Amino acid sequence: MGVDSEEEPGNQRRPHIELVILLDLERHEWYWTGKSYPTVGQEVGLVRITELQTHFLDLEGETVMILGCHDLNIFSRRAQATTRNEWRSKISEDMLSLAKEN
């Protein structure tokens, strides 16, 4: 389940957060993370999840990765080729490294 907060729809320069929650209704357990890789329009306002390990869960012996919508772009060759912002590149490199480890 995804939950986005925006005080003013369409104004992503104001502080907001986008969370991703995985609910296990049988076990009454939940896991959450949030967007770590913002769109260009969100660079100023998004409260980013900087603990990238929160994207990886152990569920019944299998590692599962949960991502917010734009976080998927980390794995896009096009995004990797056009990312010039140093902190964006660092997030991408770190997430790719964690994905390989997990």
Domain tally, the chain: 1
* Mean pLDDT on 43-66: 93
Question: Look-up: residue for tokens 């603990």?
Answer: 51
Q: Is the pLDDT of residue 85 over 80?
A: no
**In the predicted model, is pLDDT for residue 77 greater than 90?**
no
Q: Containing domain of residue 39, as a range?
A: 2-101
pLDDT at position 6: 72
- Residues whose CB is less than 8 angstroms from the CB of residue 52 and which lie 6 or more positions away in sequence, other chains included: 36, 91, 94, 95, 98
pTM: 0.84
Model confidence at 60, pLDDT cuts 50, 70, 90, reads: confident
